[in-house]
Amino acid sequence: MTILITAILLASSAQVAQQPPPATTTTAQQIDSRGPCLESPKQVPNVVGEPSERSSEVVRIDRVVSTRTYMPNQVIGFLYTRQDGKTFLGTRAAQYTSPASAAQLNAVLSSTHAASSTLTSFPPQTRLGVKTSGPPFLEVKIPAAAWAPLAIRLDPCVSWPASSPLPDPS
pLDDT by position in tens, the chain (length 170): 545 454 444 444 444 344 443 333 334 444 445 567 888 888 888 898 888 888 899 999 999 999 987 676 788 999 999 999 999 999 888 778 777 788 888 899 999 998 888 888 888 777 787 887 778 899 999 999 999 999 999 999 898 888 888 888 87
Kindly list the domain boundaries of the chain, sorted by start residue.
57-124+135-162
DSSP string, the chain: -HHHHHHHHHHHHHHHHHSPPPP----HHHH-S-TT-TT-S--TT-B-SSS-SGGGBEEEEEEEEESSSSSTT-EEEEEEEETTS-EEEEPPPGGG--HHHHHHHHHHHHHHB-TT----SPPPSEETTEE----SEEEE---GGGHHHHTEEEEEEEE--TTSPPPP--
The pLDDT of residue 35: 62
Considering the entire predicted model, what is its pTM?
Answer: 0.74
